[in-house]
Amino acid sequence: MTQTTDQEQAPELVAAVDLGSNSFHMIVCSINNGQLKTIDRLKEMVRLASGLNEKKTLDEVTQQRALACLERFGQRIRNFPESNVRIVGTNTLRTAKNSSQFLQKAEQAIGYPIHIISGIEEARLIYQGVAHSLQSNANRRLVMDIGGGSTEYIIGTNSDPSQKESLRMGCVTVSNRFFTDGAISTQRFRKAEIYVKQQLNTYKNLFAHQQWDEAIGASGSIRAIRKVLLATGWSQGGITLEGLEKLKKHALSCKNVIELDLPDLDPERLPVFMGGLAILYATFKTLDIEKMSVSDGALREGLIYDYLGRMFNHDVRSDTAQLLAEHYHTDTHQTERIKATIDAIFKQVSPFLGAQPKVMHQYLNWAADLHEIGRNIAHSQYHKHGAYILKYGDLAGFSQQDQNLLSTLVLAHRRKIPVKKIKELPAPWNNIAVYMVIILRLAVLLQRNRSNSATPEFDISIQKKTIHIQFPENWLENAPLTQADLKQEEEYLEKADFSLQVS
């Protein structure tokens, strides 16, 4: 996504798509003076998690069901600019070993890039969606979201989440494991309850009722349970532990989900209802919850509000980069020198870079912020340490693809250029990231003296595989270290099939 300034015109329509492990959701919103209005919602129960076999690969039948849904979603947003659409995949697409192959087909079906997000990033976005759907207050909230393959728990105040966890248990996976073919029994429910409590026990103190003032549920499973409790009169206004006990008692009087006969329960939810009930009931018991209200906002709403933040210069990714740089004690003065050099290069070469210069510049600035974080671990091979942190850390605002790109830039900013890794990046980065690498490498090289007065103005051009840099007359002769570094860089670039010409 591009980051815009306040002066730039906001788009009229934006869309967010959540490829969940149980359901796929899409929301389309209009933007007027920074305010959102939902104008369309689409939802289909794809049950992606049910298509994971023992080898953790998505079976063909489930893939085709998902692709057909994405084609329908794609028709609704066919004419939207790419920058106005955000699509994320969650637990099942994080887990599936053939996820990358499926994503290629999925992106073709819907017509837009799909980003896989971590469980912690999913939790952050869910909290944003919930926080914006409620009246603002200073109470500390516990937010819970039961997905198809994972359940997220978040504590926060207003729009700021302070604790986030994502546990790999969801209504689909728990239903498939403990309520096979819809079978219900006291023993099955007890096993499911124990399983959930085991997963949650590590975080019991973190999310216990002493840590928050109100509990809020988000997700289809929780909304479905609330509808049933209200329709039966077992709870008033929300979900209560007493109401859940009555629902559990009724469910255990049945031998199969087809016998539940619950009012206002969508038949499509029957196959995953018991898994959702077991997760919610065990959570109430473990965290001593007495009552939970239910929010309409969830992940896709969080995506929309996160998009607004990016558009109006409140990009959480920039905050993340700054916090990470501070944590690893980077040299901020050197960072600013490198950014200034990147700016100088961009002003001259941006016409060559095509349709993505703003996004490229943004990632390069983050790479400049973070290229030396590995020094806090070890000076030797510090670029590799930094790349590892960026690839595998929980970085708020960044998808897995975002982190992989940023990691590759940091890895490639010195020494040998990892051409193979760059080519393995998803489109369009597999073709243009190499130019970002070259710009970052030259900016770092030219600021090696770490001095505000070391580098003069210079001319630079890029023509396909040739980079030409021209310095003021006689300057290089008086800068032997830079001259030697540029000579070494010529050799590195030559091995990557590029030519660096210096004059």
- Give the pLDDT confidence of 155-168 residue by residue, as tens digits: 999 888 999 999 99
- pLDDT confidence of residue 378: 94
Whole-angstrom CA distances from 70 to 74, 76, 131, 302, 474 are: 6, 10, 28, 20, 60
For the beta carbon of residue 355, count every other beta carbon within 10 angstroms. 10
- pLDDT confidence of residue 137: 64
CA–CA gap between residue 460 and residue 310 (Å, rounded) = 31
**Among the listed ranges 100-109, 310-319, 433-442, which one has the minimum average pLDDT value?**
310-319
**Among the listed ranges 2-6, 151-155, 227-231, which one has the minimum average pLDDT value?**
2-6
User: Is the pLDDT reported for residue 330 higher than 70?
Assistant: yes
CA–CA gap between residue 189 and residue 247 (Å, rounded) = 12
68-89 mean pLDDT: 96
User: Is the pLDDT reported for residue 246 higher than 90?
Assistant: yes
% of the chain beyond a pLDDT of 90: 85
CA–CA gap between residue 269 and residue 72 (Å, rounded) = 21
CA–CA gap between residue 409 and residue 364 (Å, rounded) = 8
Angle value at C-alpha 316, between 311 and 321, nearest 5 degrees? 125
Res. 352 pLDDT band, cuts 50 70 90: confident
Farthest-apart Cα atoms in the chain, separation? 90
- pLDDT confidence of residue 3: 40
Could you tell me the pTM of the whole model?
0.91
Is 23 exposed, middle or buried (CB count within 10 Å of its CB: 0-12, 13-18, 19+)? buried
Q: Sheet containing 151-157: which strands, arranged edge to edge?
A: 160-167, 151-157, 140-146, 214-218, 291-294, 239-240
Res. 496 pLDDT band, cuts 50 70 90: very high
- pLDDT confidence of residue 171: 97
CATH 3.30.420.40 spans which residues of the chain? Answer: 13-118+301-307
Res. 358 pLDDT band, cuts 50 70 90: confident
Per-residue pLDDT tens for 165-203?
999 999 999 999 999 999 999 999 999 999 999 999 999
User: Is the pLDDT reported for residue 5 higher than 70?
Assistant: no
**Which CATH number applies to 135-294?**
3.30.420.150
Task: Report the topology of domain 315-502.
Answer: Hypothetical protein af1432 (1.10.3210)
DSSP per residue, 249-279:
HHHHT-SBGGG---TT--GGGHHHHHHHHHH
User: Is the pLDDT reported for residue 6 higher than 90?
Assistant: no
CATH 3.30.420.150 spans which residues of the chain? Answer: 135-294
Whole-angstrom CA distances from 36 to 29, 317, 494 are: 6, 22, 51
Q: What does the mean pLDDT of the chain come to?
A: 93
Per DSSP (E only), the strands in 222-326 are: 239-240, 291-294
- pLDDT confidence of residue 241: 97
Res. 7 pLDDT band, cuts 50 70 90: very low
- pLDDT confidence of residue 1: 36
Per-residue pLDDT tens for 444-481?
999 998 887 778 899 999 998 999 999 999 999 989 99
User: Is the pLDDT reported for residue 312 higher than 80?
Assistant: no
DSSP-based three-state secondary structure for 412: coil
Closest by CA position to 316, among listed 402, 376, 384, 383: 402
- pLDDT confidence of residue 135: 66
307-323 mean pLDDT: 88
Angle value at C-alpha 128, between 122 and 133, nearest 5 degrees? 130
CATH 1.10.3210.10 spans which residues of the chain? Answer: 315-502
Reply yes or no on domain 13-118+301-307 having CATH 3.30.420.40.
yes
